[in-house]
Structure 1
Amino acid sequence: MLRPSPFLPDSLRRPLVGGFFLLLAGLGLLLYRDYGLSWDEQLDRLNGIISVKYVALQMAPELARRQESFALIPEMSANEDVDHGVIFQMPLALLEKLVGADDPRDVYFMRHLATFFTVLVGVYGFYRLAARRFGSWRLGLLGAALLVLSPRLFAEAFYNYKDLVFLAFFTGAIYTLTRLLRRPSWRWALAHALATGAAIDVRTMGVLLLGFTIGFAGLEIGHRPAVRKPLLWALALYLPIVAVVVVAGWPYLWENPVEHFLAAFQSFSRYRADMTTQYWGQAISVRSLPWHYAPVWLVITTPVAYSVLFLVGCGTLLGALIKRPTRWLCTRTGRLDLLITAWFFAPLVAIIGLHSVIYDGWRHLYFIYPAFLLLTLRGAAGAWAVWRSAALPRFRRGLGAGLLVLLAGGMLHSAYRIARDHPYQNVYFSFLPGPVAERLFERDYWGLSGRRGLEWILAHDSSAHVSVGTDARAALVLHNNHLLLPPAQRARLVLTSASRARYFLTTYRWHPGSYPAAYGPEVYSIRVNEMKILSVFRRP
């Protein structure tokens, strides 16, 4: 726990915390129109619309059939993405009707803004969780700043409906769990059940929360016999409500809850497509990834200073365990540290041990990043304590000061990269030079840069109709991003095959190498930190 800082008295808590989150809200309103349309967004939206149709047919079939677009919406049985929860997608589908967003450009901008504010609520939940763990609103605010100043996550907070929204929901559920364990009551049992069910309905990996809840409730009962009865009653309320929330929020489960849920859960480890990914300069099947795939991606896309303080935090945690192995879990703080450690390491070990299919970096594990940052904060708190201790040797105090300077410098550099690379923070690499990262790893796998490429083509070609093509497997990049063009510009665009197009656009996914001269001269490109993420060629 940090001692009160003379530079940040408690009287500044409200204005600083409030100002921080107001600033983030303002940034969201300022930037949400800047990003392209990512690979999955159309499919995610369709998944929500299909579920809304299904619910409407169950509750008001005649009214549903009178809707203008009813016949165009596929049936639930034809939906290939039923294994993805829709508790976030269904409200977005209804929201676009409520606000009257008819044009695709308006629809997706609205969805980007709604996604950002959902993630912002998750950042606030992380602030509360960090402040509770360290007994310091200052460290809580520092943790929230570290989460925001993580370039890849900053960008994806606008368009990643699955992984960043799951991060927000999972973090909220961990916070409600800590409150339930501290003071068991029906209110916190209900809040935690709602948070758990919502997280599961975003990603089935949310079932980890059930294990954390039952396991740490047992640990709490073992060390605090006085809470045994209220905590058992809370669990008796929690478990059935979770089941109700999961089924109610996921219409695909309505007809056969157990069988359909198990099928959705198992699909996480048995991905239906044999896709390849660029890793260490090789095209590797996502079904045959090496064990180090996720850890390497985590390290190369996380600011170096955060990783160093994370190792320091793990070191201090291990030191506490070795120093007092039998008494460590006898304290509330020790048990909370164990929860944080399990939050980070258990999913990572499970992914590796079960050979679960992941791709596009480590985005499926983004939800463990708040736990990573809590251990980083532990390292920062330890460095602060060492620096402030007059009883320690000058060398150790200097080391503590150096770690704090490293963290401050890392945050400033991350803020600089977020501003400089905007709106392509999604291709941030922490320490790899751009040309090296370009050769070894995937770049703009979301296809966001396609929007700027299309805008450039239309701005520099005055023809009434402009034909654009790309690699056959990357056709979604063009189809998705042309939806963000103004209607007049969209009408000028002709999306066709690469062989028939006047312009060829590529984001280099599944084709990391250069293109032959037959594609014509390169007339436009986008580079981020000297890494090329998009090229436009004018066909002969």
Structure 2
Amino acid sequence: MSTFNLRTFLTARGGSFYVRLYFGLLLVLGLCCYKDYGVSWDEPADRSNGMVSAKYVAGFVAPGWAGQHFANTPDIHGYLDNDHGVFFEMPLAFIDQIIGIDDSRTYFLMRHFAVFAVFAAGTWALYRIGRIRFNSWWLGLALSTLLVLSPRFFAEAFYNGKDVVFMAFFILGAYTLVRLLQRPSLARAAVHGVATAAAIDVRILGVLLVAFTVGMVGLEILFSSADRTRRLQFAKAFLLFGIVTVIVIIAGWPYLWEAPLDNFLTALENMKRFRWGGLVLYMGAFESALALPWHYAPVWIIITTPIAYIVAFLLGAGAIGYALLRRPLDYLRTFEGRLDVLFMGWFALPIIMVIALNSVIYDGWRHLYFVYPALLLVALRGAWALWQQGRQLRWLRPVAIGAASLASLEVAYTIGRIMQAHPQEQVYFSFLSGEQAARLFERDYWGLSYRQGLEWIAAHDPAPQLNVMAQNDGVIENNLAIIKPEIRARFRVWQPGQWVEAGPTLYFLGAYRTRAEPYTETLGGEIYAVKPFGITALSVLHQW
């Protein structure tokens, strides 16, 4: 870095130096951790989705190259998941083929850092929203920190290319919307259109950004001090937003190219009637994903979010509700009040839709992760309101100071728990004991702990061939794919029907996705267990 640029970096005003330092350190943290995680259930399928669309696109531009590099890739026509958004997956597929990655470990490591980079971009956008809403760069950074220090999100920021990537793009869309509301212009409308389309091209539920745009522009016209000129600016901006959104949606989603409207409606309908008939362990009972109780998502949100965040969210929601009931017109006439309405809608509307439509969700609340930033925004609103009231009201000051002290202690405790559980933070429960979590809920439903189990076996058994078997097909192969090739070559994966043939040197690895009770001794004796947060996420059993 040149002397001039370094001086600019160090002397930046308005907290810019600290902001840049913060996000620079966040990327360094990602570089330190991205090699640590296993491969989740969905990643091979997500990779295939990207390859299918990349083959289709390459067939138009360079058919010879496509035939050479995608010879074993299915055609998009008739492919079961051809309607899945590939805005994130397709570029990875092209990078994979252009670079010529020849080992699965290299690909998945690249993929994990790419997921984290997108998460970091979403974290930055959340900081920007917080800075605008609270008019403070350090409160914006505090907001970003709440997201980073959410244990499940920290882990999934490295491998969840569906829900966390969609969340990040949704935050970017919300940020561009806030900027547009601040100052309507054609440039900002175009950028918001691109961001909205990108979110939709990751997951079609991004259409909620269109609904929020319509609603918030309407609130600006009705309740802000907009004169005729500003209203005309909003009208022009909204028109351009719509045009750009449609164009970029089609451009970024190859499935739509042949029949944009029909295929988009088909994808939307497939999302509405998506059905997965598996069982989930919820509140100690096995429930069908087709008939989950209405409280499934709210309960999962509560038990996997730090307690201080939930308390602050309730304070914030109460403060917003009180302001709307007491003086609704006055509150909506403020830009901050209208943003609070956006945040509440962002959080509540998707959850209400899932409950009202009896939508299929499973594996906790991962399908609703994109509402979590709104929860944090409302939580910061509640914490800041309590602190401000504590400064004005003498009797409330001890309460505010006590609440801030307890919240700080929990944050410190959470940091310690993340470090202790790494790299299995995805099994975090906020206040349940290990015994309660194991008995009542699914644990490592992503299957990441298998990597740790496999590496433990390789480190403790010098045999040239290591015979392993898993509870479920495919999960061992997924995690072997990211292990170093020389270690991977020592493993042989057996199927349940080959139990006798495998002989007494067999290792059995079992996670607890849809299982609460320990594995029986007929499978062997437990010689190792992965226990993040005191919760058994994986058992390794050995046939003696």
* Shorter-chain TM band: over 0.9
- TM-score scaled by structure 1? 0.94
| Deviates further, 104-113 or 452-461 | 452-461
Does 2:542 align with 1:538? yes
Equivalent-residue separation in structure 2 for 1:128 and 1:511 (angstroms): 42
RMSD, aligned α-carbons: 1.6
Equivalent-residue separation in structure 2 for 1:31 and 1:136 (angstroms): 30
User: CA shift at 1:168, angstroms?
Assistant: 0.9
1:96/1:110 contact within 8 Å kept: no
- Out of 225, 230, 237, the residue aligned to residue 240 of structure 2 is 237
Equivalent-residue separation in structure 2 for 1:229 and 1:271 (angstroms): 41
Gaps of 5+ in 2: 1-10
Summarize the alignment of residues 153-164 of structure 1 with structure 2, pairs less than 5 Å apart: 153-164=153-164
Does 2:491 align with 1:490? no
- Out of 472, 478, 481, the residue aligned to residue 479 of structure 2 is 481
Does 2:126 align with 1:122? no
User: CA shift at 1:245, angstroms?
Assistant: 1.0
Equivalent-residue separation in structure 2 for 1:53 and 1:330 (angstroms): 51
Summarize the alignment of residues 322-337 of structure 1 with structure 2, pairs less than 5 Å apart: 322-337=325-340
Summarize the alignment of residues 4-23 of structure 1 with structure 2, pairs less than 5 Å apart: 13-23=15-25
2:51 match: 49
User: CA shift at 1:398, angstroms?
Assistant: 1.0
2:4 match: none
1:181/1:220 contact within 8 Å kept: yes
Equivalent-residue separation in structure 1 for 2:363 and 2:484 (angstroms): 29
Does 2:292 align with 1:258? no
Summarize the alignment of residues 344-383 of structure 1 with structure 2, pairs less than 5 Å apart: 344-383=347-386
Does 2:33 align with 1:35? no
Q: Output the amino acid matched with 1:469.
A: M
Q: Output the amino acid matched with 2:524.
A: G
User: CA shift at 1:309, angstroms?
Assistant: 0.7
Equivalent-residue separation in structure 1 for 2:483 and 2:323 (angstroms): 56
Q: Output the amino acid matched with 1:393.
A: R
Q: Output the amino acid matched with 1:111.
A: R
1:58 match: 60
1:175 counterpart SS class: helix
Equivalent-residue separation in structure 2 for 1:27 and 1:190 (angstroms): 33
2:287 counterpart SS class: strand
1:463 match: 463
Once the two structures are superposed, residues 317-338 of structure 1 have per-residue CA deviations (whole angstroms, 9 ceiling, x without a partner) of 1221122123221121111111
Once the two structures are superposed, residues 325-384 of structure 1 have per-residue CA deviations (whole angstroms, 9 ceiling, x without a partner) of 232211211111111111111111011111111111111111111110011111111122
1:525 match: 529
1:79 counterpart SS class: coil
Does 2:79 align with 1:79? yes
1:503 match: 507
User: CA shift at 1:206, angstroms?
Assistant: 0.4
User: CA shift at 1:12, angstroms?
Assistant: 7.0
1:234 counterpart SS class: helix
Once the two structures are superposed, residues 45-98 of structure 1 have per-residue CA deviations (whole angstroms, 9 ceiling, x without a partner) of 111011000111122223322x1x432111112422223200000111122234
1:403 match: 403
Equivalent-residue separation in structure 2 for 1:11 and 1:464 (angstroms): 60
1:287 match: 290
Equivalent-residue separation in structure 2 for 1:271 and 1:359 (angstroms): 12
Does 2:345 align with 1:313? no
2:429 counterpart SS class: coil
Does 2:231 align with 1:228? yes
In structure 2, relative to structure 1, the CA distance for the partners of 1:393 and 1:188 (3 Å cut) is same
Summarize the alignment of residues 410-425 of structure 1 with structure 2, pairs less than 5 Å apart: 410-425=410-425
2:210 match: 210
Equivalent-residue separation in structure 2 for 1:485 and 1:60 (angstroms): 34
| Deviates further, 399-408 or 176-185 | 399-408
Equivalent-residue separation in structure 1 for 2:173 and 2:276 (angstroms): 31
1:5 match: none
Equivalent-residue separation in structure 2 for 1:514 and 1:154 (angstroms): 28
Equivalent-residue separation in structure 1 for 2:111 and 2:12 (angstroms): 37
In structure 2, relative to structure 1, the CA distance for the partners of 1:433 and 1:139 (3 Å cut) is same
2:276/2:360 contact within 8 Å kept: no
Does 2:246 align with 1:248? no
| Deviates further, 189-198 or 237-246 | 237-246
1:309/1:403 contact within 8 Å kept: no
- TM-score scaled by structure 2? 0.94
Once the two structures are superposed, residues 145-174 of structure 1 have per-residue CA deviations (whole angstroms, 9 ceiling, x without a partner) of 111110000010001001111111111111
Summarize the alignment of residues 97-246 of structure 1 with structure 2, pairs less than 5 Å apart: 97-223=97-223, 224-226=226-228, 227-246=230-249
Q: Output the amino acid matched with 2:373.
A: P
Of all paired residues, the percent bearing the same amino acid is 47
2:280 counterpart SS class: strand
1:34 counterpart SS class: coil
Give the length in aligned residue pairs. 525
In structure 2, relative to structure 1, the CA distance for the partners of 1:321 and 1:273 (3 Å cut) is closer
Equivalent-residue separation in structure 1 for 2:431 and 2:269 (angstroms): 36
Once the two structures are superposed, residues 105-160 of structure 1 have per-residue CA deviations (whole angstroms, 9 ceiling, x without a partner) of 01000110111011101101000100100111121111011111100000100010
Equivalent-residue separation in structure 2 for 1:272 and 1:337 (angstroms): 34
User: CA shift at 1:11, angstroms?
Assistant: 5.6
User: CA shift at 1:462, angstroms?
Assistant: 2.5
1:277 match: 280
Q: Output the amino acid matched with 2:212.
A: F
Equivalent-residue separation in structure 1 for 2:227 and 2:532 (angstroms): 57
Equivalent-residue separation in structure 2 for 1:336 and 1:274 (angstroms): 39
2:344 match: 341
Q: Output the amino acid matched with 2:292.
A: L
1:434/1:528 contact within 8 Å kept: no
Equivalent-residue separation in structure 2 for 1:281 and 1:79 (angstroms): 37
User: CA shift at 1:10, angstroms?
Assistant: 10
